[in-house]
Amino acid sequence: MLSRVAESLYWIGRYIERADNIARLLDVNLNILTDFKDLNDSRLVEHWEPIIRSTGDWDLFNSLGYKPNSRAATDFLTFDRSNPNSIISCLIAARQNARIIRDQIPSEVFEAINDAYLDLRDSGSDEIWKEGPYQFYNAIQNFSQLFQGMVASTVVRGLGYYFMETGKFLERADKTSRILDIKYHILLPRVQDVGGVVDTAQWTAILRSCSAFEPYHRNFATVVDPALVTEFLIFSAKFPRAIRYSLARLGDHLGRISRNKHDRFSNEAERECGRLYSDLTYVSVEEVLDQGLHEYLDYLQHRLNRVGGAIHETFFGVPD
């Protein structure tokens, strides 16, 4: 397979997953605001700044003159084409990559991406606020599920499929770490509120952003506990959006791409992924919390960037 084709497939997987995660963040956090009273400008800043920081685009958000409130966050993270991580930018990039390699993917997959782009292109923030954000962002999440279903049911299990899945699971691991890191940046009104209603609502929002609220409660028959939430979203080997699970799938797909039939890892991408997966397998949540959750998540994001760089250098010939 040509490296440019492989790279386009890889980025299609990443961009669709990124759009899905942004839609989840906005959906949950717009809805959680309805549970709070006295939402003055200061409280809105405290709510939205950590969410925008989690995308890595806080400096761009400020440079474009936005103020941290619900309307600005919606515009910036959904429709602003100058933001490379907005939902519309992700769909544009996914569609461009799909057009380049249209003969390499099933028509159903291309049409799903194209239809989602056209629907979003014809929408705007006025429509969101008129019809309700839940329906709008739920539709984007449904598109992501449709896309993944199309890929699962129509794409031949070969290099193209594995590259697309590689992009998806690397992006998923990164975004789960960033969603979990939101809690570090959130300021509670008072120190006494730690463990209180507001704190619990924020941890619940993190679970819901990862579609993990119900799986968490099936796994832990208890209240929302920060240590258990951290353990579930980082270390679960069974929950599909957990970081460890995503890295396991990522390592499997990298191995299939390399056709590695030996005990040793055959290239730097597999080695970087394998080292990180091994670290996650043998560290405990207590060690993470003792080190500091934010510091550990920052370390994870750095390591995931190294995995991404190794993938680019190994398969596409260009360092990330």
Q: What is the pTM of this model?
A: 0.90
Low-confidence ranges of the chain (pLDDT < 50): 187-193, 261-262, 319-320
Neighbours of 201 (CB within 10 A): 13
DSSP 88-149: HHHHHHHHHHHHHTGGGS-HHHHHHHHHHHHHHHT--HHHHHHH-HHHHHHHHHHHHHHHHH
Q: What is the pLDDT of residues 162-208, one digit of tens each?
A: 999 999 999 999 999 999 988 776 644 443 445 567 778 888 889 99
Q: Say if CB 79 and CB 119 are below 8 A apart.
A: no
Residue of 22, 155, 170, 157 lying closest to 101 (CA atoms): 155
Q: Say if CB 319 and CB 309 are below 8 A apart.
A: yes
For the stretch 82-109, what's the b/e string if a residue is b when 16 or more beta carbons lie within 10 angstroms of its beta carbon? Answer: ebebbbbbbbbbbbebbeebeebbeeeb
- Could you tell me which residues come within 8 angstroms of residue 204 by beta carbon, excluding any fewer than 6 positions away? 213, 224
pLDDT of residue 36: 59
Q: What is the pLDDT of residues 244-287, one digit of tens each?
A: 999 999 999 999 998 854 455 578 999 999 999 999 999 999 99
pLDDT of residue 193: 47
- Would the CA dihedral through 266, 317, 103, 165 be positive or negative? positive
| CA 230/CA 220 separation, integer angstroms | 12
Burial class (CB in 10 A: 0-12, 13-18, 19+), 34: exposed
| CA 315/CA 160 separation, integer angstroms | 13
Question: Rounded to 5 degrees, what angle do the CA atoms 31, 37, 40 make?
Answer: 95
| CA 151 and chain centroid, separation | 18
- Could you tell me which residues come within 8 angstroms of residue 52 by beta carbon, excluding any fewer than 6 positions away? 58, 61, 68, 73, 76, 77
Q: Which amino acid is at 198?
A: V
Q: Say if CB 258 and CB 266 are below 8 A apart.
A: yes
Q: Say if CB 10 and CB 93 are below 8 A apart.
A: no
| CA 273/CA 250 separation, integer angstroms | 8
